[in-house]
Amino acid sequence: MVFPLETLEDIRLDIRPEHELLRRSVREFVEREAAPHANAIDERDEIPGELLAKAAQQGFFGVGIPEEYGGQGGDHVSVVVLSEEFCRRVPAISVVFGSNELFSLPILLYGTEDQKRKYLPPIARGEKFGAFAVTEPCCGSDVAGIQTTAERRGGRWVIRGRKIFISNADIADYIIVLARTYPPPDKKLRYLGLTFFVVEKGAQGLKVGSKFEKMGLRGSHINEVVLDDVEVPDENRVGEEGMGFVIAMETFDRTRIGVAAQAVGMAQYAFEKAFEYAHQRTAFGAPLAAFQAIQFDLVNMLAEVMAARYLTYLAAHLADQGKREFTYVASLAKFYATEVAERVISTAINVHGGVGVIRETGLERYLRDIKITQIYEGANNIQRLVAYRQLVRLLREKGVISDEVAARVT
């Protein structure tokens, strides 16, 4: 095997003509309709509703949702293309797509047929929005530690708890909520006993609280969500009772590929701007690009952007192929691409000099935006741990690592 993959064939990508057609379509739309609003969205912390409506008319909210449920179809690679192209100019809009995906994936993976037909078509049409409520004041990366509870009363569940930093909560029509339905058997199995439920907008006891002011990705909002004895029928339960942790992890395994794509999009644009500026700006009687230090910076930026893009698209391709290896590749892509993007954006600002730090140029906004991608959907050091543990698990199953050693290192 080609450690840690099985074969050289696992490192190839499958980019088809429809992926390029999608990229061109998204690029044209973003440049025409979204990019002119980029700085205003950041300054006002608001995405114009008519802009989201135009994106819906193009079918972009349906990318990744099967046609049988009203979507445009498409695979993980298609979702990566969409995310990268939007983030290249207006990252905040991509967060709306990403939050919808966080809601939709658990339904697609574990929902009933009735749930799929009820919730997915309006999401795909852009008529409704979804949110994913897991994070709590006590617990971010420690999903198993959440304190929100759901108590069964006959055929219904009563949910009590508080969630924070929930993207899309203020515009969401549906919120998928993770709650504890029974205590864990012991500390080693503390991930058991968590269950997902769909809570619909307007439910009694549901309150979307204050908006948190954040440094970047302005235009997409994060809010507190309070569940004060919110009742939902058992038909709103997603997946088996007690298996919510597994559903959450399988969801994150896929959506963090989209976060990597967000970073690639931002890094790509920063590189383009730096390359263009270095050949237009003169200093000491010559173009900036005439100086070897600038040439080295530009080439290093390009190498890192291309490597991050490859890792991101590889994760998406492996997921589309149903390869188990996609899970650790997704973690690698998430932390690597987001950290590459920070370096590339910072270098682009340096190449611009004083022009790089003024708001009108737009580059400083990307530096604020990219920091958030290193934290949400699993902070980067958590991704390193996740990737390592997934590798150990795979190699233990193959007999390369003994059970005893695996237990000691994880």
Tell me which fold the domain 131-242 belongs to: Butyryl-CoA Dehydrogenase, subunit A; domain 2 (2.40.110)
What local confidence, expressed as pLDDT, does residue 1 receive?
Answer: 59
3-state secondary structure of 13: coil
Tell me which fold the domain 8-129 belongs to: Butyryl-Coa Dehydrogenase, subunit A; domain 1 (1.10.540)
d(CA 40, CA 62): 26
What local confidence, expressed as pLDDT, does residue 2 receive?
Answer: 77
| pLDDT tens per residue across span 34-43 | 999 999 999 9
Under 8 Å CB-to-CB from 68, ≥6 apart: which residues? none
3-state secondary structure of 196: strand
- Given a cut of 80, is residue 358 above it in pLDDT? yes
The residue-averaged pLDDT of 72-85 equals 97
| pLDDT tens per residue across span 309-322 | 999 999 999 999 99
Among residues 85, 101, 304, 377, the one annotated as catalytic is 377
d(CA 204, CA 168): 19
Nearest to 206 by CA among 161, 251, 143: 161
**pLDDT tier, 4 (very low <50, low <70, confident <90, very high otherwise):** confident
Question: Quick check: is 377 catalytic?
Answer: yes
Residue 339 tokens, joined: 């950290």
Contact 241, 230 (CB under 8 A): no
Would the CA dihedral through 399, 407, 254, 348 be positive or negative?
A: negative
User: What does the buried/exposed string (b/e) look like for 206-236 if buried means 16 or more CB atoms within 10 Å of the residue's CB?
Assistant: bebeeeeebebbbbbbbbbbbbeebebeeeb
What local confidence, expressed as pLDDT, does residue 32 receive?
Answer: 98
Integer CA distances (angstroms), 186 to 27, 193, 196, in order = 51, 11, 21
What local confidence, expressed as pLDDT, does residue 185 receive?
Answer: 87
**pLDDT tier, 31 (very low <50, low <70, confident <90, very high otherwise):** very high
The domain limits of the chain are: 8-129, 131-242, 246-409
The class of domain 246-409 in CATH terms is mainly alpha
Under 8 Å CB-to-CB from 130, ≥6 apart: which residues? 99, 100, 102, 103, 104, 119, 123, 168, 172, 173, 174, 175, 176
| pLDDT tens per residue across span 276-326 | 999 999 999 999 999 999 999 999 999 999 999 999 999 999 999 999 999
